[in-house]
Copies of this chain bind each other. A is one copy, B any other.
Amino acid sequence: MRLSSYFLPILKEDPSEAHVISHKLMLRAGMIRQQNSGIYSWLPLGVKVLQNISNIVRDEMNKMGAIEVILPCIQPAEFWIETGRFDSYGEEMLKFKDRHDVDLLFGPTAEDAITDLARNNIKSYKELPINLYQIQWKFRDEIRPRFGLMRGREFMMKDAYSFDIDQEAAEKSYDKVFQTYLKIFKRIGLKAIPVKAETGPIGGKLSHEFHIVAKNGESEIFYDPKMDSLLDNGEFDIEKIRNTYAASDDVHDGEKCPVDESILRKTKGIEVGHIFNFGTKYTKAMNFTVQGPNGELIHPLCGSYGIGVSRFVAAAIEASHDDKGIIWPKSIAPFDLAIINLNINNSECSEISEKLYDKLKNEFSVLLDDSTQNVGSKFSTNDLIGTPYQIVIGPKLIKDGKLEIKERQNSKTQIVEIDNIDEFIKTFKA
């Protein structure tokens, strides 16, 4: 992508509407714009990160054996009346009527709708276990939307729903998603701590939240130091992890905590995932049964599993930034690398920049900075949007056949001979 024909409306100053760092940086880096309270338009740079995260989530869900569906944004009230949630869900549910006076709503979650789909299409225990997921826009009519995407109203969620024949199978399904979530966070490159959680309006007894570790996180997390090694080794032994103490401030009680205060780890986190196992709550309310092995009718046991995909974009920024701007994990960066042409009026700079762009754009997502900005603005723009590698092409070095490569994460720069660029580029992929 050439910056000169891209849509990247950078803000030089901190916008007054933003009070947390991720919101500030997303506005400044031209990733989002507020359209209405808690409702955002996604600009091109934001769309790329949203898609990168979605693609990783989709890929890992598919590998796990979950199957993608898409439920409509708009749901009929009738399912929610059946489960009793139409009244109990509260004012966060956006309700309205269509032209024929039928009660509808913009789905804030989809346990009710997916149970309806399942009861009409799944008839036998032989079709279970099954895990259906979607990546779809949701709406929760927050009373005071704030902190940008952290507490917005329209948001993108990956929500998954499992159906099983008995509690043992249901917990196996639960643990499978638990493990997949840890794989997703590891692949994205951000540390997430799983903590025991309250189940709230979804219901059930077994529930965990996943919090991305971030200095300014909204919640405080307390955990047994053993958790760190269980998460680091990449094996993700869910039984051990579930038995290792971790709790957020909602649940943690210093008096009752089994881990000695002197070794208990404390950190701050941002919730990006929440999983629930709630048995037959919805299948009984909606009378979804399947035929069991002996011909008997069984209400399947369910779980639901959410990752806030749009919230994750903000959480990643909270977890990884500096004074200059965003530092994207390579896995979700909107561009893998930038080629910064310091002087577009210098024919040598432009020729080398264009050649390199042509060479790299098929293998990487590349931003060619061919803008008329001054050198200072070019550096600050590219630092702000957080591209992991910046290849700087300037008139002085180019005379000696050299260019500079800067790594955003640690600000390390290296001077490289243009003829050796291939060698260097291999390291980008590692």
* Chain A residues with a Cβ under 8 A of chain B: 5-7, 9, 30, 33, 35-37, 39-44, 46-47, 50, 65, 67-76, 91, 94-99, 102, 104, 106, 113, 116-117, 120-122, 127, 130, 132, 137, 139, 141, 143, 153-154
Contacts and interface: CB of A to CB of B under 8 A. Distances in A.
Nearest to A136: B137
Contacts of A73: 73, 106, 137, 139, 154
A71 B50 CA distance: 13
Number of copies of this chain that the complex holds? 2
Nearest to A129: B5
Given A44-B67, A96-B96, A137-B137, A74 B130 contact: no
A96 B141 CA distance: 13
Nearest to A2: B65
A68 B47 contact: yes
A75 B42 contact: no
A58 to B, nearest CB: 10
Nearest to A95: B96
A72 B35 contact: yes
Contacts of A96: 94-97
A141 B130 CA distance: 33
Contacts of A42: 69-71
A141 to B, nearest CB: 5
11 contacts: A5-B130, A7-B121, A7-B127, A33-B121, A39-B72, A40-B72, A42-B71, A72-B137, A73-B73, A73-B106, A95-B96
A153 B40 CA distance: 23
A291 to B, nearest CB: 15
Contact of A98 (B67, B94, B99, B104): B94
A367 B137 CA distance: 29
A154 B99 contact: no
A121 B74 CA distance: 31
Contacts of A40: 72
A5 to B, nearest CB: 7
Nearest to A76: B36
A129 B127 CA distance: 53
Contact of A69 (B43, B76, B122): B43
Contacts of A132: 7
Contact of A99 (B7, B130, B141): B141
